[in-house]
Structure formats: C-alpha cells, structure tokens
Amino acid sequence: MRRGTCTPQMAQVLTESILNMIVNDMRPISMVEDEGFKQMINTFHPGYTLPSRTHFTKLMEEKYEAAAAKIIDVLKLTKSKIALTADAWTSVATEAYLGITCHFISDDWELTSFCLTTMPLEERHTGVNIAAWIEHVIARFQVPASNIVAVVHDNGSNVVLAANILKEKHGWNSVRCAGHTLQLVISHALKHPQITKALGAARCLVEHFKRSELASSKLKTKQKQMGIPEKKLIQDVSTRWNSTFHMVTRLLEQRWPLIATLSDPTVTPRGKQHLDLKPDQWALLEKLAKALQAFESATVYLSGETYVTVSALPPLVRGLQKSTQTTYEGIPVKQAFQAAASQETTACWSREVTVKDDSPDTQIIAAALDPRVRKLKFLTPEERFSVQSKVQSLALQSMQEETAKKQCATENEESITCFK
C-alpha cells in the first residue's frame, strides 16, 4: 500500500483521537506499543506516524492538568456547599487505592460530581494518614475546608477514624455509606445455619452449570421446550449481598429447566445428580427471596447517582424495620432471618433514624427539607414536631448570621468612606 501524506493538522487530530480513546475507555497507555494497534492505525492512515508511549504519557499529563484547572474554576464559582465521598479499595492485583469524589448542586440546580483523584496508597492506611490524604486533595483543588459539609465513607475502622478526625478538625459531618451498611446487615442476617446450607447448595448448582458446557447447552434446550426465558444462571459475589438475591431469584425462575437437565442421564452423570436442591431448600429460597425484596429495592434506590439519597435514608430504614417486624407463623427460619435483619438494621442505623429532642441527626434534617418526604409521615406526631421545630430554629439562625454579615460589610464600607 502506498503511503499517503498526513498533514500536521491531521496528525494532531489523530493523536488527540487516540488520546481520548485511552482516557474514555480507560485503556493503558502501553496499548500504543501493541503490534496489532500499530497495524490498525497504519491501515487507517498509512502516512500517520504513531507517537511513542512517552509522548502519549506527556499528553496525558497535560490533559489531566487542563481538566483539573477547569474543575478548580468550577469549584471556585459554585455557591453550593460540597460533600465528599471517600472510598478505599483494593484492585485485583492487591494494590490499594483511595478514590475521592466531590458532589454539589450547580447554579442550575443539577447534582454535579467530579472525581478528584484515584490515588495509590503506598503508606499505611491508618485513619490519620487517610484524613491527611483527603485534606491534601481538597487543597490541591483549592477547596476551602469551610465549604465542605460532609464526608461519605464505608464502615472500615480506619476510614471511620479518618472521618471522625476531619469532623473534629473541620466540623464535617461523617455519613456512612448506606449501601455498605446494608451489606453488613444482610450478611449478618444470612448467617442462619439452614440459610447458609441452602445458599451453599445453590452456589454449587450454579457453579456446575458454569463449568459444564454440555449442561449449559442442555439447559437452553429445556428453557426453549418449557417456554421459560433463556437466561444464564448468576454466581453471587460475597462483597455484594444483592448478587445473592439475584442468584436466588434466577434459580427460582429456572427451577424446572434445571431439574429437567439434572435428571437427564445423558447430560448429568449419576454422581452429579445430587446437585439438585432438596424440596425444603427450594421452599426456603423462595421465602428468602420474598424477605429480601424490600432490601433489594432499598439497595437499588440508595445506589442512585443522579439524585440525592441522604434524605431518603430515614424513611427507607423505618420501612425496612417495619417489613422485618412482620411475623410468619410456622416458618421459623424466615422468622430468624427477619429477627436478625431487624435487630441489625436498628443497631446500624439507630443514630440516623432516632429523633432526639435537642438535635435530630443530619439525615432527619435532610428529609425535612426534601420536598419528596418533607411531610415526615414516617415519624410519629411528636417526632415530627421536634424535627420541624429544629428546622425552623436552624433557618432563623442562618438568617440572623446572614443579616449580621451584611451589617458588618456595610459598616466596613462606611468606615472606609469616612477615611477618604
């Protein structure tokens, strides 16, 4: 193929396009050194000389600095208070990272978020160090500590300590991640021996179909024959409780095609036919799925990224408490699960949903200010009156402080005028 010409302007466009692909698709910069990628680029434009990995690294750093500068400008102009989320996590390669995201309401009343950093943690992940790293990041983006109102975090002891340090030092509210707390609640409630045994059998069944191509293919055939949706089984993940819920509901949906496949001696060896769950285990999973439905709905709602969820926590928790207090006569395992879930829900969120006479928690105040739930129907009349009185008191205090600031500014202007 005869090499065509590539103008500097065209080369710049192509390089920028490759850089954007690396950024948007989160590809490693080393991709530009792959032979297959080089051949593809040469096919698209033979006259284009692909820059080196070092050059793309330099461009990436410049792009980051430009993006960071834009974020700094936006944060300087915003009149809204800012909330942070801090997430410490470990990659598949067992490398630790800290992600920090800021959230605020724009002048157009839109919920806006910026990921400020995903930084590798090379030192010990102590609460003191995490607090210092968070302070360093907000200083890097020139956000005054007084503009931040809260830090959302998981329940890890080191992150909780960091949040408490920042609360004592700057007055930031410490808000635990509701999704992570729900994970703890359900994980505790699922520890009943019979539930553990039934879920273990369910996992073995799913694993068998994941590993056996023959069984998986036969399952599709049975699904077609029975007119049941052709869906794959779901393997749950220990760190996401609702994946267990999805695994159970999918098994219940596919129960009869599964049983038919396991009963076919041409597909399932005699030694594997025991994988089918016992009738009482199927019945238990069916009851468990119904009991978990309310928690699944709460998890889905609290995982939303395009709307505020902190104000929805109190009514959701009260609703979960109510759903777990329903008694089921003759179903001891379900009673045990719901009792454990109710106890753990109350233990984990007593502070967030308890109305104190003098100082309701931040989540309760947020609910009182949210048009969706501001009538506070989930509270008793006495609790409702207490919260509304507190909100009125806070509003009056805010107005007085604003008036004092304006008066002080006016006096300063008059003083300057007198000296002229």
Residues 211 and 333 in one domain: yes
- Residue at a domain's end among 351, 368, 396: 351
Q: How far apart are CA 236 and CA 183, in angstroms?
A: 13
Strand ranges (DSSP E) for 127-274?
Answer: 148-153, 173-176
Q: How far apart are CA 102 and CA 44, in angstroms?
A: 40
Q: Tens place of pLDDT for every residue, the chain, 420 residues?
A: 345 688 989 999 999 999 999 999 989 999 999 999 999 999 999 999 999 999 999 999 999 999 999 999 999 999 889 999 999 888 877 888 999 999 999 988 899 999 999 999 888 889 999 999 999 999 999 999 999 999 999 988 999 999 999 999 999 999 999 888 998 899 999 998 999 999 999 999 999 999 999 999 999 999 999 999 999 999 999 888 899 999 999 999 999 999 999 988 888 877 776 788 999 999 999 999 998 999 999 999 988 888 888 899 999 998 888 888 765 555 678 788 888 888 888 888 887 777 776 666 788 888 999 998 989 998 889 889 888 888 888 889 888 888 887 787 676 666 666 655
| pLDDT at residue number 2 | 47
Residues 215 and 339 in one domain: yes
Nearest by Cα to 356 from 396, 323, 407, 390? 390
Q: For residues 261 and 218, is the Cβ–Cβ distance under 8 A?
A: yes
Position 264 in a domain: yes
Q: How far apart are CA 214 and CA 218, in angstroms?
A: 6
Position 389 in a domain: no
CATH number, domain of 168, equals 3.30.420.40
pTM of the model: 0.81
Q: Which H/E stretch holds residue 332?
A: helix 332-353
Q: How far apart are CA 139 and CA 145, in angstroms?
A: 8
- Strand 96-105 to strand 111-120: parallel, antiparallel, or no bridges (unpaired)? antiparallel
Residues 197 and 339 in one domain: yes
Nearest by Cα to 86 from 182, 168, 150? 150
Q: Which H/E stretch holds residue 90?
A: strand 82-90
Q: How far apart are CA 313 and CA 329, in angstroms?
A: 30
Q: Give the position of tokens 């978990």.
A: 292
Q: Which residues pair with 86 in a beta bridge?
A: 100
Return the structure tokens found at 300: 């889905």
Q: Classify 164 as helix, strand or coil.
A: helix
Q: How far apart are CA 293 and CA 272, in angstroms?
A: 31
Domain that holds residue 344: 185-351
Return the structure tokens found at 9: 């302007």
Contacts (Cβ under 8 Å, ≥6 apart) of 47: 3, 4, 5, 6
Q: For residues 256 and 282, is the Cβ–Cβ distance under 8 A?
A: no
Position 303 in a domain: yes
Rounded to 10°, the helix 193-211/213-226 angle is: 100
Q: What are phi and psi of 354, to 5 degrees?
A: -95, 130
Position 370 in a domain: no
- Residue at a domain's end among 146, 176, 206: 176
Query: What would you report as the CA-atom Rg of the chain, rounded to the nearest whole angstrom?
Result: 28
Contacts (Cβ under 8 Å, ≥6 apart) of 149: 81, 82, 83, 172, 173
Residues 234 and 330 in one domain: yes
Distances (CA, A) of 345 to 208, 228, 243, 416: 35, 36, 19, 59
First to last CA, the chain: 80
Q: How many domains does the chain have?
A: 3
Q: For residues 84 and 150, is the Cβ–Cβ distance under 8 A?
A: yes
Position 209 in a domain: yes
| pLDDT at residue number 31 | 94
Residues 60 and 89 in one domain: no
- Residue at a domain's end among 333, 351, 369: 351
| pLDDT at residue number 72 | 96
- Strand 82-90 to strand 148-153: parallel, antiparallel, or no bridges (unpaired)? parallel
